[in-house]
Amino acid sequence: MYDFRGKTALITGAARGIGRAIALELARGGATLALNDVNEAAAKEAIGLALEAGSPKAKFYGFDVANSQACNGGVESVVADMGGLHIVVNNAGISIDNLLMRFKDEDWKKVLDINLTGAFYLTRAASRPLMKSKAGAIVNIASVVGEMGNAGQAAYSASKGALIALTKTAAKELASRNVRVNAVAPGFIDTPMTQALPEAAKTKMFEAIPLARLGTVQDIADCVAWLASEKSSYVTGAVIRVNGGMYM
């Protein structure tokens, strides 16, 4: 467990899955939480769990990460409500899958707007309050397919690969103000979606993973918590692969 007492963390896509696990892990360290998601009901459930886990304060913020002005206003509200901002986790993301030749323009735009442009908007909006904190941390949730590609996931792979590039550029720009920017690249994670796959597909998936198991949302949350904490104070511009050895 890490000590996040006195720090405020803004997490996007925080209602369920990886985002919720990250929120609860930071809550255990005493972080004040600003949880963003499109699913208000699930986010409010996550808030209740976060308060039980040890967060002194947690609040829902429903702004659209794909909207520049909404991100600006969302960050302003968080800073006004919580008294500052110290940690940002860009976790919001979607995947629309199809073969490249069949991919629709609107689907391409939607994936990149949320996964990449949303992370850019929020990073830009949060950069000033993070610099004022004198020890800010941004953690971007990328993906193994952002490094290795994956058939049928042109938009998702492109968005996550570009997010890695954005991470490294932001790390170089913000380092002089002691704001660290890193990325976590999950592999296949045990979620309801992967649980529903046919057994043959699961077997093929396991064969591609040297550790021969799916990752858990807690695996990702543990890595994010380390990157958000002072224990990783000399780490910036890194891409931490949490993928069981699937891509090295």
Return the active site residues. 156
Tokens (6 digits) for 225: 């918590």
- Cβ neighbours of 152 (radius 10 Å): 13
* DSSP 8-state assignment for residue 246: S
Contacts of 48 (CB under 8 A, 6+ apart): none
DSSP per-residue codes, 85-109: --EEEE-------B-GGG--HHHHH
Cα(240)–Cα(184) distance, rounded to whole angstroms? 5
Residue with tokens 């255990």: 28
With beta carbons less than 8 A apart as the criterion, state whether 12 and 89 touch. Answer: yes
Nearest-angstrom CA–CA distance, 232 and 213: 27
Q: Which amino acid does the sequence have at 135?
A: A
Distance, CA of 104 to CA of 99 (rounded, Å): 10
> How do 58-61 and 87-90 pair as beta strands?
unpaired
